[in-house]
Amino acid sequence: MKKWMISAVIIGIVAGGGTGWKIASLQAQPVKINTNTAPVMKRNIEAKVDGDGNIEVAESQKVVAEHSGAIEEILVKNGDTVKAGQDLIELENGYEIESPIDGEVTLNDNLNIYTSVQKGSNLGEVINYNKLEAIIKVDELDIQRVEAGQTVKIDQNGKEYSGKVSEIARKGVTENGVSTFDVTVRLMSTKGLIAGMSINASIITDTAQDTLTVPVEAVRKMNDKSFVMVQTGSKTSPAPRQVETGIHDEEYIEIKSGLSEGDQVVLPVAASSGTEKMQQRDMQRMGDGGMGGRIFIQGGR
């Protein structure tokens, strides 16, 4: 009769294991599991915001007539390199129209000798192709982390450049339901760059030097708290530990407290659902502050 009762209990547990809530006892015998671990190590971390963009001209100005009159002589041709203050056009009344900046001049095609111009009219443009900047499009979810003066790392077809954030657009542009903001970057060097080139950029939003880190995937969030599973002396029983985290990059996250250098943290094992559930159970117990020796694990199909 006792054997029959025990068998019935086991059958009942198996039958109810597919859905609902299962009660796991902390008194269960330890089960040998396979785990991957990583050591707690000191590293330098850079938190960043990525974006794509283009190289653009940083300085250009219109050629504007400061006086009215008929053109007597055009002193330059389109494409000429000019200096700021250089005469571009002479008027019959003796006035000259000068270049506003250094750069390459392009005058309007309709300008000829004897053409009358009015004061304030636009006669062309001077573009300084030696002064370039980068315009990066940053997603609306990341723009709050970007500030003027932050360092920017730029990649243009395998060549690396650097710069500083100089300006952030106050209004975004929405396309296909997603808003992006233009971030202007002042470049430290423009050698090899041409206006119109496409680039990939990373804006460094924060850094941590020689700080304790673990792989990002080792950290779990539960009840607004962060936990890791630490491999203790026994290889069969990793233990949950609450930690305080800091910044992170794509691979590692900063640990401000809760771990020591050399500690071994357990990494998720996708192929071992049993291991995953055991780790979830232990961290749930930590997050709830204990539940009288029993915890609840959500079952699923």
**In a 3-state reduction of DSSP, which class is residue 202?**
strand
> In the 8-state DSSP scheme, what is residue 30?
P
Q: Where are the domains of the chain?
A: 21-45+211-298, 47-56+131-208, 66-120
Two tokens at 55? Answer: 């190289």
Q: Per residue in 94-150, pLDDT tens? A: 999 999 999 999 999 999 999 999 999 999 999 999 999 999 999 999 999 999 999
> In the 8-state DSSP scheme, what is residue 144?
G
* CA atoms of 238 and 25, how far apart (whole Å): 17
CATH class, range 47-56+131-208:
mainly beta
Instruction: Write down the pLDDT at residue 238.
Output: 87
Instruction: Write down the pLDDT at residue 7.
Output: 38
Instruction: Write down the pLDDT at residue 28.
Output: 41
Q: Which residues of the chain have pLDDT under 70?
A: 1-35, 234-236, 270-301
- pTM, full prediction: 0.68
Q: Per residue in 124-137, pLDDT tens? A: 999 999 999 999 99
For domain 21-45+211-298, the CATH architecture is: Beta Barrel (2.40)
- What CATH number labels 66-120? 2.40.50.100
Write the CA distances from 260 to 41, 69, 204, 275, integer angstroms.
9, 80, 27, 24
Two tokens at 74? Answer: 């055009």
Instruction: Write down the pLDDT at residue 2.
Output: 40
Q: In sequence order, what are the residues at sequence separation of 6 or more whose Cβ sits closer than 8 angstroms to the Cβ of residue 132?
A: 55, 56, 57, 58, 187, 190, 193, 195
Instruction: Write down the pLDDT at residue 233.
Output: 72
How far is residue 47 CA from its own chain's centroid? 8
Instruction: Write down the pLDDT at residue 34.
Output: 55
On the question of a common fold for 21-45+211-298 and 47-56+131-208, the answer reads no
Residue pair 160/153 in contact by the 8 Å Cβ criterion = yes
Instruction: Write down the pLDDT at residue 237.
Output: 79
Instruction: Write down the pLDDT at residue 235.
Output: 62
